[in-house]
Amino acid sequence: MDPVINHQPPSPATAETAIECRELTKKFGDFIAVDRISFRVQRCEIFGFLGANGAGKTTAMRMLCGLSYPSSGHATVAGFDVYRQQEKIKQHIGYMSQKFSLYDDLTPLENIKFFGGVYGVAEKEIRERSHDLVRSLGLDREANKLVGGLPLGWKQKLAFAVALFHRPRIVFLDEPTGGVDPVTRRQFWDMIYEAAEKGVTIFVTTHYMDESEYCNRVTIMVDGKIEALDTPANLKHRFACDNMDEVFYRLARTARRSDS
């Protein structure tokens, strides 16, 4: 299942930095959820964040989104500091959490309007774009029904569209395709590529190793640490594996933390 659009990663020399972390750490008491991770994500890049359950992916992402204070280390997102400028970061990012978190008791259009409005998109623009958006998602007939009644795949597509509606520079996707059928997953990745083409940086966590092949670069987290960070091709070469599944298995089997 190759995505329809072939996305070219930006060349490292010329690209701007979208996200930068140095020694970023999060501790909960004695437990080190994220242990001194460092990386740099370039603008327009599709950056995959892989790891077993409990590896610390979501915790790392929450720090970058300004939802959680880091314990130590440095990080900037869209050029803003994660300690002091969370609200500025929030203006420039989109976020889609693991758990569907749009309002079930609002319709797709009402959800789009609310989140668009909160991000400061003008009412006129919301009106113009939301109908097109709903149509392109194939939700025309459901546009005025409550979101709670939609199938999960549609909900996830809607959540992604809402996360992109205010045209953020970076979008954070936390396991966006969890529990979604293969056809919808495929459509989802088409949407991701389309967004990346338009200049949005994508930061995505996933369990699905076939999906990791679509990323420009992939990070594999094990027990809160980054064990590997490279393009999928280089990783396969380095670990002499045929596919990402094997790469992941080789790295992750040393993990001591399992399901959190």
Partner 1 sequence: MKRLRFILQKEFRQMFRDRTILAMMFMLPLIQLGILPLAMNLDVKNINLAIVDKDHSTYTQKLISKIGASGYFKIVATAPAYKKALVTLENGTADIILEIPASFERNLVREGSQPLNVTADAINGIKSGIGSAYLLTVIRDFNQEIRLTGNGQSIAAPAMIDMASAAWFNPYEKFTWYIVPGVLVLLLTLVGGFLSALNIVREKEIGTIEQINVTPIKKWQFIVGKLVPFWVVGMIVLTVGLLVARLFYGIIPVGSLLLLYLLAAVYLVALLGFGLLVSTISNNQLQAMFIAFFFIMIFVLMSGLFTSVDSMPTWARSIAAGLPITHFMKAVRMIILKGSSFKDVSSVFIIEGLFAIGLNALAIWNYRKTQ
Q: Return residues touching partner 1 (CB under 8 A).
A: 62, 65-69, 86-88, 90-91, 93, 95, 97, 99-106, 110, 113-120, 123
CB of 64 to partner 1, least distance (A): 11
State which residue, 124 or 256, has the beta carbon closest to partner 1. Answer: 124
Give the span between the Cα atoms of 67 and 39, in whole angstroms: 19
Cβ at position 239, least distance to partner 1 in Å: 35
Q: Which residues contact 133 (CB under 8 A, 6 or more apart)?
A: 112, 161, 165
Pick between residue 104 and residue 128 the one whose CB is nearest to partner 1.
Answer: 104
Q: What does the DSSP 8-state code read for residue 148?
A: G
Query: Distance (Å, rounded) from C-alpha 89 to C-alpha 93?
Result: 6
Query: What is d(CA 103, CA 200) in angstroms, rounded to the nearest whole number?
Result: 25
Least distance between partner 1 and beta carbon 97 (Å): 5
Closest CB to partner 1 among 165 and 214? 165
Report in angstroms how near the CB of residue 90 gets to partner 1 at its nearest: 5
Min dist. Cβ of residue 15 to partner 1 (A): 25
> Smaller CB distance to partner 1: residue 33 or 229?
33
Tokens of 228: 């590997």
Q: Is 93 or 137 the residue whose CB approaches partner 1 more closely?
A: 93
Q: In angstroms, what is the minimal distance from the CB of 139 to partner 1?
A: 18
Task: For tokens 């007939």, name the residue.
Answer: 141
H or E segment at 153?
Answer: helix 152-165
Q: At what angle do helices 123-136 and 152-165 cross, to 10 degrees?
A: 150
Q: What are phi and psi of 115, to 5 degrees?
A: -70, -40
Distance, CA of 33 to CA of 69 (rounded, Å): 13
> Smallest distance from the beta carbon of 208 to partner 1, in angstroms?
22
Looking at residue 11, what DSSP letter applies?
Answer: P
Output 87 or 132, the one with its CB closest to partner 1.
87
CA distances, 21 to each of 40, 42, 155, 223 (Å): 6, 12, 31, 18
Measured from the CB atom, the residue of 97 and 212 that comes closer to partner 1 is: 97
